[in-house]
Structure 1
Amino acid sequence: MGSEWADRGPSVSLHCAATAAEERIFAELTEHWLPPRATSTEFGTADQDRRSVGTDPLVAYNLLKSFLSSHKALADTLDTRATSLTARVTKAAKEGRRHDPAVDREQEAVARLRALTDSMGDGTAPGDSAKLDALVEQLKDIGVGPRSTTRAVVFSERVRTLKWLAEVVPPRLGFPAAGTTTDNGNGKNGKNGKNEKNGKDTESPHVRVMHGGLSDEEQQKVLAAFGLAENPVRLLFTGDVASEGVNLHRQCHHLIHYDIPWSLIRIEQRNGRIDRYGQRHQPQFRALILTSTTPGAKDDRTVAEKLLRREEEAHKLDGTAEAVTGYYRAEEEERRLIRELVEGGTVEEFLGAAPAAEDDMLAGLFGQVDTITEQELPPRAEVPSLFDGDTEAFTEAALAELYDECAEDLIGLARGDDPKGGQYLSLSPAKAPDLLHRLKALPPSYLKEQGVGERMLVTFDRALAERKLTDAREASDTLWPNVSFLTDIHPVAEWLTDKVLVQFGRQEAPVITSPQVTEPTFLVQGIYSNALGRPTVVKWMAVSGLPGTPEVGDMSDALRAAGVGPRLAVTGVPHDLDRLAALVPAAVSAARDHLERTKDEWADLISEPLAQYRQQLAQWRQDSLLPERTSRGRRRIEDTADEQAHLLDQLQTSGRPLLRVLAVLDRPASTDTTDDTPAES
């Protein structure tokens, strides 16, 4: 993909030594909520009486994760927990019973943690939060500031953290505070004053916050602002609502994990927001790792940094981290990891016991797909084309065939010249409901922004299309080019293809006449399939010499010899359609006989790699069934080998071929013509 997708940079861990206030919180969490795992000594088990003060073991880890995000997020979590505990006490009193004494102990612990949290600063000055200070320092190093176009996206799992960062970070970088007037960078002043409805200050014009609490429309506005080159937005603080399926790479190649999700899948999804096709600069990843000197403290090195490193390893070795654990869903992956930690386990033990932990044994079976050389690749199939891949020629021919002189009235077809060079077609999908329906496959934001339903501009000129794409990337008011490049997979091309095809009824095929044809030639497609119903052999044949001595040649050669293409002149009707129809059974029979005679040749080509793989499978099965394997592991090996063997059986060619008469080449009834009009067929 060349420069259209720059190689990914490393994931840099930035250790942030906890402040004194943060160390007190670590100490409280370690002493009362998350005591170290008990260890065995010669006198028994040490620390066996130390237990979490939490009545629910999951609460302790929720508090820890909140704190590793920010003390603001921890405060919100503590408030929620305090409310829940009070409700339990109240409910017990109403029911005339005494509540669990453990609730009292947890309430006291919650209150202590809340007091420690309140003792921390609000982040407006250095020293209040180690990670906040590191974030500001990193953003300055990157070059984010009022006089720079550099942008960065900062991820956090907690909405409270995102909102807090959006408040305190911009002023520390020198950005004007919310409620001021700023130059948008395009000569226009952008106001960021009071909200007319509620009188509250809106966020800084240089900052956007996105989280799951925003509507889809609000999220799209945030993404649009961050993706426009001339928009003043320089910082996007976002939650994991933007971690999947969202493009943040248009104007940004810096991503900072303020906190790290306890899921390899989620980390990979986050990184993928700027590491994607169209990224011109090397994506840069940084992660803020809060560290503690408190003995036994579960800081970011305990879980987060280990997962960060494992995700990077998986990306380098396998291209993806999705299958490392075998859970394939971020929520399930994180839930099971926390359960492992609650039971006293570690990240390493979690990864070692995950369903995919033994999948290293599959490396010998599936790990060689990227070692095939160009010389070892099977030959590519040749697919005949009347237009040699010329989408413009096909489109012009199809429009002429379908609409003749009425295209302007029926589909609003018009042609235009771009002021900077290049031509384009303009059409109105609203006048063609079947085309309008197909356009639903295109991005909704593109359809809406460009008003494609009413007027669509397409071009065959690659230079014009690339210029329009560049203009859109650098524009301040658009995300999409107003002229799109029309290729053979564009919905317009597919729409025209189907409209041309439906002109032929069931069991019908066109007759193409050319003075260069000496005898009727039937163009036949033959297809062999495997047990899965998928084609294994596709042959394009030209059958001539009928009915006496049929000869089967190559379809592409026959088309070239007949001069069939978009410039074929209209030469008149064929001699005798009834005679041609009568020859169809003989043409099909000749094509079938030809396929049957060459079947063994094709079968050898298909069977050879399957046979090699079958030998590899047998060897892998033998080598993998080691005595030290667990019964579960041995069972997986046997099941995998059986499944692969069954698949190999299904991939073999089977059954009789399917034959389709695609067209017939014939000599016209009269070749005395000077008409050079392109043929309608």
Structure 2
Amino acid sequence: MSAAVLAPGARIECRSAEWLVRSLGRSSDGQQVVDVVGVSAFLGEKEARFIVEVEQAAGSFKVLQPEATELVADPSPQYRDSLLFLEAHLRRTVPTDGSLVVGHLAAMDVMDFQLQPAAKALAMPRQRLLIADAVGLGKTLECGILCSELIRRGRGKRILVVTTKSMLVQFQKEFWTRFSIPLVRLDSEAIQKVRAKVSSSQNVFHYYDKTIVSIDTLKNDREYRCYLENASWDIIVIDECQNVAERAKGAQKSQRARLANRLATRSDTLILLSATPHDGKAESFASLMNMLDATAIANPSHYTKEDIKDLYVRRFRKDVIADLRKTVKERESRDVECQASEREERVFALLADLKLPDTDAKAKAGQLFRTTLAKSMLSSPMAALETVRNRLKRLRAGATPAPADIAALERLEPLLEAIGAEDFSKYQRLLQLIRSDWNWTGKDPKDRLVIFTGRRESQRFLVEHLALDLNLPKGAVVPLDGAMPDVEQTKVVEQFAQEKEALRILVATEVASEGLNLHYLSHRLVHFDIPWSLMTLQQRNGRIDRYGQPQQPQIRYLLTASRSEGMGDTEKILRVLIRKDAQAQQNIGDPSVFLRVFDPAAEETEIEKAVEAGDASGLEARMEANAAPYLEASAGDGLFDELFGGSEGGDTSAGDVMADEPAPGVQRSQAFSLFPNLWSYVERSLEAVSEQMERRGEKLDLKPYPAEERLELSPPKDLQRRYDRYPRELQPPRGQRLALSTDPEALQRALEQARRQDSARPELEYLWDLHPLVDWLGDRGLIAFARHQAPVLQLSEELDPGEVVMVLQGTIPNQRGVPVVQEWVAVRFTGSGLRVAAVEPFAAVAERLQLGRHSYANPGAPIADSLKQQRKVAVDAAHQYLLECRERWKERMQPELESQRERLRRLRGRQIEQLELAYAADQRPRQIKDKKRTADQKAIEERFKDHERFVEEVMTIEPAPYLKLVAVLHREA
């Protein structure tokens, strides 16, 4: 028999101790690295990482051979410890196909469309995917489903999530409460604390395995970037990834893009999330695709759907409405007209004829200052006054006199100063909406309001006046804006979701329009001013109209109506925006296709041009023409067609908009278990833990509620140590019992209870396969027997007299150490001889014997000597069985490997060809051009060499299996 290879599940001896191999990888210099957990009594559950070559050279590294396994008796009642030992090994078995085994079981009301990104990613050689679903469809949850699947496969030990600072807490909570993934929140304060704990030579990103950090925190510190370049993760998630695309608009965005490009090389798995993934420019979107696969696109300005279709998932509300209607009710939207007061009309009248000759002479089209003033006035007189004063300040301080401009603005300034709250029509109508239309008093903590405004002065006015005029207590009206520190933003978002908090009205600027869940206690949203961007409008509405909203969303648009000539056209244009947002929701999906500029700031410029031209009808006609190709578009991979409009930038024709293939069905599977369900396994395992503790003179503080599949438990020391490694905000208070339930609905009720009790964490945790308690029980099951031992179960029925079944676990990894063949084999002997009667899947034998479901008496019979002779024969038979599985795997993978090789050859040729074309047109001096061309060609070769190496390692299987003799089933003759 060939020597066993190192693989997850193997047991090794290293440094005079026994370890269980959890995963394998490679160091930066290509040496094999093994992650292990201690299984001896002395080590407990200590984790370690060894470089195999170094340990082998020191003579302290040995893979335990299965034929030398000691066969031992199990004294536990009904072979409980043996069954838990077997089950623990089964639970460490890594799924090797693309079916979902845990993600669909997370604590959520999962819908089929939310499983498709994980299914698509698992079918890839490596999981690098843009999830670009529209606002409110649950991208964070889709990401969590995929991460759960990778963790279950042993490929999610180290995780880094990068998001906006306002999303840190929300993302952390979703991952913990629904998926049991404990992300440590590294805001600016937390990173400083870590730096104070570690030496200056240590990498702060090695301190925690699973972290979440703000993109702005990372991009502003050179030292953090250095740390990142010298760290690696199993999974990297970049949320709101449109912020890291290369858009060449200022230093801030280029800093983010450079950071993201560095991160893209630090993990095999990269998940990008965005509801607005492109700005209409091929090069910008190509930068995101290149992060996912640097070989896919030869020319960032010209590429086809075929080049990138495997790299993203894109669905809109209209595409998944059948699923979504189960949980989200149709929104109720209404325009609320506000007739301008007399003092406001004076300002509008002056604005209509406002002439600023010096300022307007320097303005570009669509940027007249009169339009800027009108826009701020439509937000509030206070915002308009601030705009006027800021412009006057600049004009008075300028080197070139502008007396006409200054005089015109000085006439406007006192008119704006004279408008108080009582003359502010929109504010008075807002009060009427809240008090009378909605009969809202602020007494119900589950009925909170979100008010959006694009102007800080309008926000300040609302925060100052609403509490007084609505007779609300201190702390009931709170602002949320981008100027607040990340810690303060986090605090406000948390308070808005907690029932006991006094906060009733959140007055937010656009910082709250991306990603935040504001729907837990709020179903009413007011646009105090209408953003001049359809993309922003969609993002705002998505804060309360989203997956998980239990009530009908109510959205109100406040529109100022003026008698002044010219302002009527502006009102018409704003109404066009509202109608188009509703149309996008119903039958188009992406509102950005109406203007086809794909950037909120650029959309605002287009609307400003229409306002200055007074052309509401022309604007609407242009929007309808732009949207026409999308009215009949199917669900699926339509993102490319959004980007190029079905006719630009690539080889895709307009007909291709309708040609997307339907999403394939998602395969779900259930991992084989000896127990009928998770609860029965946990219950039996805790029974064993209780007895073990009693033998040590300790007592397990446990209260089970079997009928509800719920338990309360004071964590024993070794379980408490695991919780001690988690973020403080996720840990139960010291001395308090853990409360766990297998019921997702019970968890949802606990989350609501936590909001009522002003608690950052629910009192109940979701008990499922990835919960730390289940992982801890699995590790305890693995050490139920001493080093290199297998229990013998003496069964008195079901087996034939004299029959022997040797149960072996077999693993063959690929060259990256990832198991690609995992088989549980039952080698059957009919008596004490050495002839193998059959080799069959263990699952079939376990089902026939009803192991774990049927109670078998433990007679405590001695172990027959013949079993020791049969070990070697059984191992050889299982070895041959695994080799046959290996050959079948190679035969199945060979066409795919050849396809990948051919693809890379084709893409390399395309990139070299594009390089030649680029330098043929280059007019620089030959010496400079040749030097740069050589460097670029070398970069292409390195890029493809790395990718080819990865493909070969993933799709090439090791020559021999690792086998472990786990148990023996025997009936005496």
Provide the TM-score with structure 1 as the length reference.
Answer: 0.65
Shift in Å, 1:661: 5.6
Paired residue for 2:287? Answer: none
The structure having more radius of gyration, on CA atoms, is 1
Paired residue for 2:360? Answer: 52
Distance 2:666 2:537 in 1: 38
SS in 2 for 1:253: strand
Task: Quickly say closer, same or farther: Cα 1:20–1:587, change in 2 above 3 A.
Answer: same
1:335 paired with 2:601, answer yes
Shift in Å, 1:335: 2.6
Counting only pairs closer than 5 Å after superposition, residues 398-417 of structure 1 correspond to structure 2 as 398-399=685-686, 405-406=692-693, 413-416=700-703
SS in 2 for 1:405: helix
1:383 paired with 2:671, answer yes
Task: Quickly say closer, same or farther: Cα 1:553–1:671, change in 2 above 3 A.
Answer: closer
2:810–2:824 contact (8 Å) kept in structure 1: yes
1:82 paired with 2:368, answer no
SS in 1 for 2:543: coil
Counting only pairs closer than 5 Å after superposition, residues 12-27 of structure 1 correspond to structure 2 as 12-27=334-349
Paired residue for 2:644? Answer: 358
SS in 2 for 1:588: helix
Distance 1:539 1:306 in 2: 59
SS in 2 for 1:267: helix
Give the aligned residue type for 2:644. E
Shift in Å, 1:132: 1.9
1:72–1:161 contact (8 Å) kept in structure 2: yes
Aligned partner of 2:827 among 544, 560, 575: 544
Distance 2:769 2:370 in 1: 57
Distance 2:695 2:745 in 1: 23
1:275 paired with 2:545, answer yes
Task: Quickly say closer, same or farther: Cα 1:592–1:474, change in 2 above 3 A.
Answer: same
Give the aligned residue type for 2:756. A
SS in 1 for 2:335: strand
Give the aligned residue type for 1:129. F
1:458 paired with 2:745, answer no
Distance 1:573 1:60 in 2: 95
Distance 2:591 2:856 in 1: 54
Shift in Å, 1:285: 1.4
Distance 2:694 2:556 in 1: 55
SS in 2 for 1:52: helix
Task: Quickly say closer, same or farther: Cα 1:491–1:545, change in 2 above 3 A.
Answer: closer
2:806–2:969 contact (8 Å) kept in structure 1: no
Task: Tell me the alpha carbon deviations over residues 421-461 of structure 1, each in whole angstroms, 9 at most, x when there is no partner.
Answer: 98522234886565226633xxx7554xxx44653522236
Distance 2:959 2:560 in 1: 65
Distance 2:812 2:533 in 1: 46
Distance 2:331 2:701 in 1: 47
Task: Give the count of matched residue pairs.
Answer: 562
Shift in Å, 1:281: 0.8
Distance 1:324 1:533 in 2: 49
Shift in Å, 1:312: 3.5
Paired residue for 2:452? Answer: 155
1:264–1:321 contact (8 Å) kept in structure 2: yes
Task: Tell me the alpha carbon deviations over residues 23-73 of structure 1, each in whole angstroms, 9 at most, x when there is no partner.
Answer: 443444454479xxxxxxxxxxxxxx9982676847655534422221112
Distance 2:400 2:694 in 1: 80
Distance 1:417 1:543 in 2: 35
1:527–1:657 contact (8 Å) kept in structure 2: yes
Distance 2:825 2:349 in 1: 83
Counting only pairs closer than 5 Å after superposition, residues 472-487 of structure 1 correspond to structure 2 as 472=753, 475-478=756-759, 480-487=761-768
Aligned partner of 1:100 among 394, 400, 422: 400
1:109 paired with 2:419, answer no
1:226–1:251 contact (8 Å) kept in structure 2: yes
Task: Quickly say closer, same or farther: Cα 1:367–1:460, change in 2 above 3 A.
Answer: farther
Which moved further from structure 2: 246-255 or 398-407? Answer: 398-407
Which moved further from structure 2: 585-594 or 72-81? Answer: 585-594
Paired residue for 1:392? Answer: 679
Distance 1:596 1:80 in 2: 75
Distance 1:520 1:290 in 2: 82
Shift in Å, 1:251: 2.5
Distance 1:423 1:378 in 2: 30
Shift in Å, 1:472: 0.8
Task: Tell me the alpha carbon deviations over residues 479-530 of structure 1, each in whole angstroms, 9 at most, x when there is no partner.
Answer: 6432323122334334544565689999x7966645356334455567899x
Task: Quickly say closer, same or farther: Cα 1:560–1:668, change in 2 above 3 A.
Answer: closer
Shift in Å, 1:590: 2.0
Percent sequence identity over aligned pairs: 24
SS in 1 for 2:804: coil
Task: Quickly say closer, same or farther: Cα 1:417–1:590, change in 2 above 3 A.
Answer: closer
SS in 1 for 2:852: coil
Task: Quickly say closer, same or farther: Cα 1:434–1:288, change in 2 above 3 A.
Answer: same
Give the aligned residue type for 1:584. V
Distance 2:827 2:340 in 1: 85
SS in 2 for 1:406: helix
Counting only pairs closer than 5 Å after superposition, residues 190-589 of structure 1 correspond to structure 2 as 203=474, 206-215=476-485, 218-219=488-489, 222-229=492-499, 233-297=503-567, 301=571, 304-317=574-587, 333-340=599-606, 356-360=642-646, 377=665, 380-388=668-676, 390-399=677-686, 405-406=692-693, 413-416=700-703, 424-428=711-715, 432=719, 435-436=722-723, 439-440=726-727, 447=731, 451-452=732-733, 455-460=736-741, 462=743, 465=746, 469=750, 472=753, 475-478=756-759, 480-497=761-778, 513=793, 515=795, 518-524=803-809, 540=823, 542-544=825-827, 551-565=838-852, 576=867, 579-581=870-872, 583-589=874-880
Distance 2:542 2:588 in 1: 15
1:138 paired with 2:433, answer yes
Paired residue for 1:590? Answer: 881
Provide the TM-score with structure 2 as the length reference.
Answer: 0.47
Task: Tell me the alpha carbon deviations over residues 332-382 of structure 1, each in whole angstroms, 9 at most, x when there is no partner.
Answer: x2232345457779977799599935345779768688956xxx8476445
Which moved further from structure 2: 62-71 or 220-229? Answer: 220-229
Give the aligned residue type for 2:804. E
Give the aligned residue type for 2:441. G
Give the aligned residue type for 2:440. V
1:525–1:660 contact (8 Å) kept in structure 2: yes
Shift in Å, 1:280: 1.6
Aligned partner of 1:69 among 365, 372, 379: 379
Distance 1:236 1:411 in 2: 51
Distance 1:663 1:212 in 2: 57
RMSD: 5.4
SS in 2 for 1:580: helix
1:69–1:156 contact (8 Å) kept in structure 2: yes
Give the aligned residue type for 1:67. M
Task: Quickly say closer, same or farther: Cα 1:76–1:427, change in 2 above 3 A.
Answer: farther
1:66–1:74 contact (8 Å) kept in structure 2: yes
Task: Quickly say closer, same or farther: Cα 1:241–1:112, change in 2 above 3 A.
Answer: same
Give the aligned residue type for 1:270. R
Distance 1:395 1:366 in 2: 51
Task: Tell me the alpha carbon deviations over residues 101-123 of structure 1, each in whole angstroms, 9 at most, x when there is no partner.
Answer: 3x444333332332331232x12
5+ unaligned residues in a row in structure 1: which ranges? 35-48, 89-98, 178-191, 193-202, 615-645, 673-681
